[in-house]
């Protein structure tokens, strides 16, 4: 409103300005005088988020100090370097100049579009040599405060008082010598004692949402690792499971332990935003006990995988394979045409370089020694034969190699004590239309590593499964055609034939597609999983006899306990029905069965290797009767106690039931009259007492015709 208008209005209303006391006017409180604006923009602007951090800025130090004339040239050089590493924001490069001398100060700030780019640029360019005297020192801007506060003088770290740790292996001292197992079902993760004497599991620890994907025992059973958004954690301890250490690695997907459980490898991969790019992979190696990250590896998925013969893309887990033995000294990574072997003292490549092996597709460590076996397929359409070789680490000396002709694929199987290596070789037939299989058997521990070729009796048989006897010299093969293949057992040394492989037996037409040796050897389960609905045959290989056959309908998984006394069969939630697990004795007697809906995982807690020497073990086996007496007596006591408990429980249940029945009967009696009234006086309930029912049968035989029905129906 114009002042004129206001005056006009005032005149119209008969208001004399001079008489108005402006101070007496009271306005309602608040900026809007209590009147809400209906303009939504008033309320909803200023809501946009400000990124207050400077995470996308890096500071580049050790630049040359140049005068004004050269300023633009230097700026151009720096821009050129960093434009390769990321997108610099507009006006994102700022090189401060000394106002007095007009010289640059030898550092600059660069702002990138994203913190990731800044991080990447920092990592890539730190240590970049511009020339001899100018080596870049690059830091994140956000880190500067921290770096500034570092004291000039070094202070010796304070030694923290020693806190005695828990006995992490207390579970091994269980006086009933039971084994533990972990199961996951629904949201719960539970650890149980397998109490076969009581015929039920005894709970140890239960926790809902313990892990966000799966759990895994460390190879010697000390730790249980769980996966979370923020990283991995290991649990263990004397009595209950407490968290021992955390390993920060956001969105960790997979974990793997070194065989001596000194190191934990964590894996994370990120799907690329652009589907044409390879996904990003980040792998970290932690020291399990200190939780310190020893090394991390980053890169695109291509660097961690090879286009295998099957053409399977993506990294195959574990990416890093650990050399055998408890020392955890070496680990190897296979990538295109190279094998990178690292050693854990410095976490760097042995001899600072990888091994170049053209077209290598598979590597496999011996479980006990630092020997690597590798397989190179045929090249140039058969001109260059396929090759299987054994390489000694760290010397990288080839111990043995064998050329193989017209090979389509190879699979390597090490025997658990590293004495033998079996290579299953699939060869093309002459027409190249089909393949047949044979084995190359390496005797590692013998002089010059002799190789023996084994062909099946019927060499056209397909090989369905292969398994070495743990610690033994025998192996089992399922071969032949589905649905009823044969199972054969071979031995690398028999009494007659020490240096030659010989067949022990062939079992004809078995419903089996998987082999599960007991960890102590001697016993094996021939299992028909999936298509065979869970057929189980418990077989004694020493006596070559079947101990029992059973069925765990729909079974998907079989796992022996670490002692070879019990075996668990499970139906995991790949099926909707029958989820749960069954515990069997080694000879096929069902001990108990637990049903759990949404059953995901079952894993026995591994045990470290026994301290007994082989001689001592043999002696115990010889005098087993003497040793077992004590345990038999204990078993007897337990079973007596059990049946006693059972009897008492039943008695209590019966008594409780009787009480109910008595109560019901008396009430029923009380209500008798009322009921009679409801039934219009009919005498009701127990008329059977009043009228005795007699069954009278009238049988009049009218005619009998007997016809003989042919039996061969």
Positions touching other proteins (CB under 8 A) are: 199, 533, 553-554, 576-578, 595, 643, 646, 650, 653-654, 657, 660, 664-665, 667-668, 671, 674-675, 678-680, 685, 696-707, 709, 711, 713
| Residue showing tokens 């506060």 | 149
CB of 487 to other proteins, least distance (A): 23
* Spatial distance between the Cα atoms of 707 and 713, rounded to a whole number of angstroms: 15
Cβ atoms within 10 Å, residue 96: 11
In the bound state with other proteins, the residue whose beta carbon lies nearer, of 402 and 672, is: 672
Q: Name the residue nearer to other proteins (CB basis): 211 or 511.
A: 511
**Residue 674 — φ and ψ, nearest 5°?**
-60, -40
* CA 500 – CA 443 distance, rounded (Å): 10
Tokens of 567: 């075996």
| DSSP string computed for 186-224 | TTEEEEEEEETTTTEEEEEEEEET--SS-EEE-TTSS-E
| Residue 83 to residue 87: CA distance in whole angstroms | 6
Using a 10 angstrom Cβ sphere, with 0-12 exposed, 13-18 middle and 19 or more buried, the burial of residue 233 is buried
Q: How far is the CB of 700 from other proteins (least distance, A)?
A: 5
Give the nearest distance from C-beta 686 to other proteins in angstroms: 10
Q: For residue 705, count CB atoms less than 10 angstroms from its CB and return exposed for 0-12, middle for 13-18, buried for 19 or more.
A: exposed
Nearer to other proteins, 175 or 680 (CB): 680
- The order of strands in the sheet holding 557-560 is 557-560, 566-571, 580-585, 590-595
Q: How far is the CB of 682 from other proteins (least distance, A)?
A: 8
* Closest to other proteins by CB, 25 or 577: 577
Whose Cβ is closer to other proteins: residue 563's or residue 676's? 676
Provide, rounded to whole angstroms, the least separation between the CB of residue 702 and other proteins.
5
Minimum CB separation from other proteins for residue 597, in Å? 8
CB of 453 or CB of 595, closer to other proteins: 595
Tell me the two tokens of residue 515.
Answer: 């082999």
Shortest spacing between CB 657 and other proteins, in angstroms: 5
CA neighbor of 203 nearest in space, from 232, 165, 245, 241: 241
CB of 709 to other proteins, least distance (A): 4
| Residue closer to other proteins, measured from CB, 554 or 638 | 554
Q: Which is nearer to other proteins, 457 or 597 (CB)?
A: 597
Q: 3-class DSSP state for residue 410?
A: strand
Nearer to other proteins, 15 or 683 (CB): 683
Separation of alpha carbons 489 and 482, rounded Å? 18
Place of tokens 């071979």: 490
Closest CA to 424 of 478, 469, 371, 473: 478
Q: Min. distance of Cβ 563 from other proteins in angstroms?
A: 24
* Residues whose CB falls within 8 Å of the CB of residue 1, separated by 6 or more in sequence, listed in order: none
Q: Which is nearer to other proteins, 4 or 701 (CB)?
A: 701
**Three-class secondary structure of residue 606 per DSSP:** coil
Alpha helices in 546-586 (DSSP H): none
Q: How far is CA 628 from CA 359, 620, 625, 631, 634, in A?
A: 55, 10, 5, 5, 10
Structure-derived torsion over alpha carbons of residues 708, 710, 711, 713, reported in degrees to the nearest 10: -140
> Inter-axis angle of helices 68-83 and 115-125, to 10 degrees?
110
Minimum CB separation from other proteins for residue 373, in Å? 40
The number of residues making up the chain comes to 713
Q: Where are the alpha helices (DSSP H) in 2-143?
A: 3-13, 40-44, 68-83, 115-125
Q: Which CB sits closer to other proteins, 153 or 706?
A: 706
> How remote is the C-alpha of 42 from its chain's centroid?
53
Name the residue nearer to other proteins (CB basis): 4 or 713. 713
Q: Closer CB to other proteins, residue 505 or residue 595?
A: 595
Tracing tokens 């939630």 back to the chain, one arrives at 573
Q: How far is the CB of 512 from other proteins (least distance, A)?
A: 18
Rank residues 222 and 582 by Cβ distance to other proteins and give the closer one.
582
How many Å from the N-terminal Cα to the C-terminal Cα in the chain?
Answer: 111
Q: Which of 404, 406, 448 is nearest to 423 (CA)?
A: 404
Q: C-beta of 547: minimal distance to other proteins in Å?
A: 18
Specify the residue, 124 or 200, whose C-beta has the smaller distance to other proteins: 200
Decide if 602 contacts 582 (C-beta within 8 A): no
């Amino acid at each position: 409103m114009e002042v004129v208008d206001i005056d006009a209005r005032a005149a119209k209303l008969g208001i004399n300005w001079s008489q108005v006391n402006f101070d007496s006017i009271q306005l309602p409180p608040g900026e809007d005088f209590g009147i809400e604006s209906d303009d939504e923009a008033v309320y909803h602007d200023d809501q946009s988020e400000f990124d207050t951090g400077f995470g996308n800025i890096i500071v580049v130090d050790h630049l040359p100090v140049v005068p004004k004339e050269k300023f633009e040239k230097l700026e151009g050089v720096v821009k050129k370097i960093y434009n390769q590493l990321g997108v610099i924001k507009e006006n994102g490069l700022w090189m401060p100049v000394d106002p007095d001398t007009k010289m640059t100060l030898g550092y600059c700030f660069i702002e990138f579009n994203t913190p990731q780019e800044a991080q990447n640029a920092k990592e890539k360019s730190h240590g970049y040599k511009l020339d001899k005297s100018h080596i870049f020192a690059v830091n994140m801007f956000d880190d500067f405060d921290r770096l500034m506060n570092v004291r000039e003088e070094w202070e010796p770290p304070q030694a923290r008082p020693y806190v005695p740790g828990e006995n992490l292996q207390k579970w091994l001292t269980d006086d009933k010598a039971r084994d533990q197992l972990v199961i996951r079902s629904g949201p719960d993760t539970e650890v149980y004692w397998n109490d076969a004497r009581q015929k039920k599991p005894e709970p140890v620890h239960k926790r809902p949402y313990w892990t966000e994907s799966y759990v895994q025992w460390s190879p010697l059973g000390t730790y249980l690792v769980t996966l979370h958004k923020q990283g991995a954690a290991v649990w263990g301890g004397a009595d209950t499971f407490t968290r021992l250490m955390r390993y920060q690695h956001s969105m960790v997907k997979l974990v793997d332990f070194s065989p001596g459980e000194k190191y934990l490898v964590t894996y994370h991969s990120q799907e690329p935003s652009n589907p044409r790019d390879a996904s990003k992979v980040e792998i970290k190696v932690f020291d399990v006990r200190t939780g310190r990250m020893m090394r991390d590896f980053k890169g695109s998925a291509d660097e961690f995988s090879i286009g295998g013969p099957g053409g399977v893309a993506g990294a195959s887990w574990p990416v890093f394979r650990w050399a055998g033995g408890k020392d955890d000294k070496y680990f190897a990574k296979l990538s295109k045409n190279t094998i990178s072997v690292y050693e854990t003292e410095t976490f760097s490549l042995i001899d600072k370089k990888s091994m170049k092996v053209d077209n290598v597709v598979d590597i496999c460590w011996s479980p006990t020694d630092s020997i690597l076996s590798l397989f190179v397929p045929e090249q140039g359409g058969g001109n260059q034969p396929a090759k299987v070789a054994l390489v000694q680490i760290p010397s990288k000396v080839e111990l043995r190699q064998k050329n193989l002709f017209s090979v389509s694929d190879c699979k390597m199987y090490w025997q658990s004590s590293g004495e033998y290596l079996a290579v299953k070789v699939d060869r093309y037939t002459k027409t190249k239309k089909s393949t047949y299989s044979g084995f190359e058997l390496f005797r590692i521990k013998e002089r010059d590593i002799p190789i023996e070729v084994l062909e099946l009796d019927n060499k056209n048989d397909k090989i369905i499964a292969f398994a070495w006897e743990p610690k033994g010299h025998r192996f089992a093969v399922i071969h032949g055609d589905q649905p009823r293949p044969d199972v054969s057992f071979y031995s690398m040394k028999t009494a007659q034939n020490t240096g030659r492989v010989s067949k022990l037996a062939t079992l004809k037409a078995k419903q089996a597609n998987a082999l599960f040796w007991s960890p102590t050897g001697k016993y094996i389960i021939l299992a028909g999983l999936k298509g065979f609905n869970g057929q189980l045959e418990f077989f004694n290989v020493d006596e070559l006899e079947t101990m029992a056959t059973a069925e765990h309908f729909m079974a998907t998984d079989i796992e022996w306990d670490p002692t070879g006394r019990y075996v668990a069969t499970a139906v995991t939630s790949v099926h909707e029905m029958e989820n749960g697990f069954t515990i069997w004795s080694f000879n096929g007697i069902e001990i108990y069965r637990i049903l759990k809906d949404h059953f995901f995982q079952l894993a026995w807690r591994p045990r470290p290797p026994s301290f007994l020497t082989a001689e001592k073990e043999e002696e115990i086996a010889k005098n087993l009767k003497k040793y077992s007496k004590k345990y038999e007596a204990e078993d007897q006591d337990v079973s007596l106690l059990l049946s006693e408990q059972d009897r008492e429980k039943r008695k209590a249940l019966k008594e409780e039931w009787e009480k109910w029945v008595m109560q019901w009967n008396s009430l029923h009696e009380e209500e008798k009259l009322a009921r009679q009234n409801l039934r219009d006086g009919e005498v009701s309930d127990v008329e059977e007492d009043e009228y005795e029912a007699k069954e009278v049968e009238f049988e009049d035989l009218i005619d009998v015709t007997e016809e003989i029905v042919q039996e061969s129906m």
